[in-house]
Structures are given as structure tokens and as C-alpha cells.
Structure 1
Amino acid sequence: MVARIPTVLPPSTSLHELAQRQQHELDAAQWLHEQGTPVIAPTPLLPREPFHRDGFCFTFWQYAPEDHEAEPDYTANTEHIPALHRALRDYPGDLPFLSAADPHSMTAELTRLQQHPDLIAPADLDRAQREWQLLEPLVRSRAAFEKAFPHAPLQPVHGDSPPANIFPSTHGPLYSDFELTCLGPIEWDLAGLPDELVNAYDRSARNQGLRELDRNVLDFVNAVGRLRTVATLALVPQLPELGDYLTPSVQQWKQGPFAGGLDL
């Protein structure tokens, strides 16, 4: 077995909220496993539920041996995602709308950054907060999203960049890390990816007779994703190495148009 133990969380995220998220992950991964979708599945040796100990909330999974000779191939990984979306489309579980965006934490983290001018300049933080005022209603409300994007169907999605969460096992690639699974547009799973990977997704979707990505919705999820990166700066005091990881993306956000150029 392998234990997954989240250790760095936004202060606004309670263990109860984390446990709910982990239960969605366990249930979705188990269901996909039962349908024959190649995933890392929960262990059958323990109850399929989160465990609590010493202030941590964790889950247990089947051990999958890694193919250490496999080279990362994000184009190939992205070409696998339309098949995952097709499988998830029939998932019967009740999932929250765009919970992967974590709007409550987004608001709290942007507020906390007011106390950290060492992490983000006040003018940049002001821009981020104004962008969030524009985007937040569409993240929090399914009705508002559907009004803005009436031609973008919603379905269960992975929630956390699935091309980066395909595990190279000795038995082949396995989908993993469904902790942010939720109801949303398929574009959410492609947020922040370069054009060549977006094109790889569309090419694979066409070959399978599936829907290609809507560029307007992709602009929206990219804008939310970039703002999520800015808000994550609030976690740098807890995990200092995040700073170096986040800085290039924050610089890209600063150089880009307000709210990704969206006309909402």
C-alpha cells in the first residue's frame, strides 16, 4: 500500500473539507477502476475512506511499481485525456461544481497577501483582487457559468492537470491523483498547457469522435488558473521552495492582459 498524506494546506481548508475531497477521489478512482480504466486504485485491504491521525487526513492506495526507464512524454499523456473524459462522463457520483478552483481559499489567500508585500507588490495584488471580482461569480455559480458559456457542457473532470498526473507504471500508464475531481467543463483539465498540448488533445479527441476544446472556455479556465498561481504565493511562508516554483508563472501573469483578456 501507499499512503497519500497532504501536508501543506491553505489555513482556510479544514480537515473536514479535505476529507470530503479525498472521499470524492477514492470513490471516483474506484469506479473508474471497476470500469476497466487504467488508474491507480484505492487499496482493497482497508476501508475506502480517509483516515485521521495526529492532525493529518490521509488515504491508502494500491502500490504500482514505477517504470524507471520511461521518459516523460506530455504530448502522449495529453492524447490519453479525451479517453479519460469519455470514461468520466458516465460517473454516477455527486460532485461539486468547480470545487477544484477552491474559491473560498482563493479569496482568503488574496486577502492574506495584503500582509505580505515581500511576496507581491501592492499594485499587483490590487490587480489580482479586481480580476477575482470578475471571475469569482462564474467559479462559484453553475448557473452563472452556464449563462456565460451556454455551449460548454459540464461533466465530471479530473480537476488537476491530468497530463501531469499519469503515472508510468511497469504495466503501462495509469491515471492518478483525482483529489480535485469535480463537475466542470473538460477545458478545466487543460488549463495552463502550451498550444502544442492543447492541439494534441484536440487531435486525439477528433480521432475518437469526441468534442474538441472550446477556446473561449479555455481562456476562462486559464485566467482562473493564473490567478490561482498568484494566490498560492500566500503559502510560501509555509513552504519556502514554492517561491522559486511560482515566480515564472507570476511573471507571465503580470505581463499578460487583465483577466486573460476575457470580455465578460
Structure 2
Amino acid sequence: MVAWLAEQGHPVIPPSPLVPREPVLRDGFSMTFWQFTEILEAVEPDYARNAGLVADMHRALRGYPGELPFLSAAEPQMITDSLEDLGGEVDPADLDRARREWAVLEPLVRSRSAFQAEFGVDLQPIHGDAPPFNIAPTPNGELYADFELVALGPPEWDLAAFGPECEASYDARARALGLRELDERVLRFVNAVGMLRSLSCLALVPQLPMLADALKPAIEQWREMPFAGGLTS
């Protein structure tokens, strides 16, 4: 998809021309390679402003002609496997809640028809990986980056966990572009799934010990959230 965006003249960091356009496995981890681009490190990220730019990206992505899997960016099999394997890395009460939440959310992640029956919103190609965070300031302007998780899904997925200020910024720009605004129930759904993805990453702590501390704030926030995004009520 990103090569298609570049060919259409959209501001993206394209794949590297030096290697094949495919992931490379190294020590159990997957890497992708992109064209070297200078980043303006002194520029502070403005996520609220970037959220508005995501609406522009969504409008561009609507023209993508290729086939994409439904919500593959959620990595449902990873969540399932991790929740089965997690042991000492997570509090038993947290693990019990996570497994019960996933029983509610997984069918909506796995099935396009189940999702649309529940929410009734339109789907389109999405970035898949927190695009307000992945807009890079460069000497050639702001460029969209990190398209490894592109999928077919609701636009809300690309705003998961960014909060009300970013959501309002996206909605304002979406209205200006003639796109629909974010749906509150879908936002709660994607936020709930995103939190379970974070919890599932604790399964990688034996390989990446730094994740234990890095994920603590997200898990504490999850404990305060409604069960399964309130979808059972």
C-alpha cells in the first residue's frame, strides 16, 4: 500500500529501494526496511494536530484498489496465544479479566460480518499502527510512516488510545473533508482491544525485560476502564 501512496504523490516514507519489499526475520523478530529519511529531532510532536492529518490520510487510503484482511492489525491470534501462555508475568486477577474480555471482543475482531452487525459503520483501508505517532517531521515536510500493519477496518482503529483531544481534532478535519466522524461505541471497542494487545505483550518480557516497566501505565489505565469497553451492557 505505501508504495501505491508514494506513486500517487502522497507524503509517505517509502520502502527502501535497496532490498526486496518483504519482512526479514532476525533472532525471532521481524524487521522491515524503509528509505532513509532525515528526521527533525528538534520538532516536538503535536499529536492533536497529527490526528487531524490522519483524516487526510484516510481520505487518500479510500482510493486504494487492493484487497486487505479485516482488522489484521489487531493481531487476534497473538492475543489468543499470549493470554493462553501468560503466567508469572501478570497478576492472576488481571489475566482472568483479560481472558473474559477477549471472549467478548474476539468474535468482533475475527469476523467482518459480526463487526458490522454489531456496529453498522463503514470500513476502509486503515494505517493500523497509531498514525498520529507515526507522522515524521522532515526537511521535506511531514511524512506518514510505518505501514507494516495496514488492514481493512474502521477509521477509529487509527485513533485508539489517543484520547478526547485527538478525537476532536480528527472529527473537525473529517467534517471538513466530508468524512464521517468517529463513532463512540467503536472507539470504546478499539480502545478495549488495544489494551488487551498491550497486556498480551507481557508474554515477550522474557525476551524484552524492558517491557515489564514500559507497559505498567497502560495496564493500570486498563484496570480503570469498563469491562470490554462496556459492550456487554
TM-score range, shorter chain: over 0.9
Of residues 37, 40, 60 in structure 2, which corresponds to 1:67? Answer: 40
TM-score for both structures, normalised by structure 2: 0.94
Q: C-alpha distance in 2, partners of 1:55/1:124?
A: 27
Q: CA deviation at 1:200?
A: 0.7
Distance 1:256 1:207, change over 3 A: same
Cα distance between partner residues in 1 of 2:90 and 2:20: 44
CA drift at 1:49: 3.4
> Is the CA contact (8 Å cut-off) linking 2:49 and 2:166 kept in structure 1?
no
Q: Which residue of the partner structure matches residue 79 of structure 1?
A: 52
Q: Is 1:195 matched up with 2:164?
A: yes
Shift of 1:149: 1.1
- The 2-side partners of 1:220 and 1:262 are apart by 7
1:242 equivalent to 2:211? Answer yes
Q: Distance in 1 between matches of 2:195 and 2:32?
A: 29
User: Which residue pairs with 1:177 in the alignment?
Assistant: 146
Q: Write out aligned runs for 1:109-148 (5 A).
A: 109-113=82-86, 115-116=87-88, 119-148=89-118
Q: Is the 8 A contact 2:123 2:152 kept in 1?
A: yes
Offset from partner CA, 1:3-44 (integer Å, 9 cap, x none): xxxxxxxxxxxxxxxxxxxxxxxxx11000011110000133
Give the gaps of 5 or more residues in structure 1: 1-27
Distance 2:25 2:230 in 1: 43
3-state SS of the aligned residue for 1:60?
coil
Find the partner of 2:223 among 254, 258, 263. Answer: 254
1:186 aligns with 2:155: yes
CA distance in 1, matches of 2:102, 2:28: 31
CA contact (8 A) 2:14 2:34 kept: yes
* Distance verdict in 2 for CA 1:53–1:260, change over 3 Å: closer
Match of 1:21 in 2: none
Aligned to 1:149: 119
Q: What amino acid is aligned across from residue 106 of structure 1 in structure 2?
A: I
Q: Which amino acid aligns with 2:3?
A: Q
Moved more, 63-72 or 155-164: 63-72
Whether contact under 8 Å (2:47, 2:166) holds in the other structure is yes
Letter in 1 for 2:119: F
Q: CA deviation at 1:57?
A: 4.9
1:37 paired with 2:4, answer: no
Which one-letter code corresponds to 1:241 in the other structure?
A: M
Identical-residue share of aligned pairs (%): 58
Aligned pairs, how many? 233
Secondary structure, aligned partner of 1:263:
coil
Does the aligned pair in 1 maintain the 2:69–2:152 contact within 8 Å? yes
Q: Does 1:89 align with 2:89?
A: no
Distance in 2 (alpha carbons) for counterparts of 1:98 and 1:69: 35
Distance in 2 (CA, whole Å) between partners of 1:206 and 1:38 is 22
RMSD: 1.6
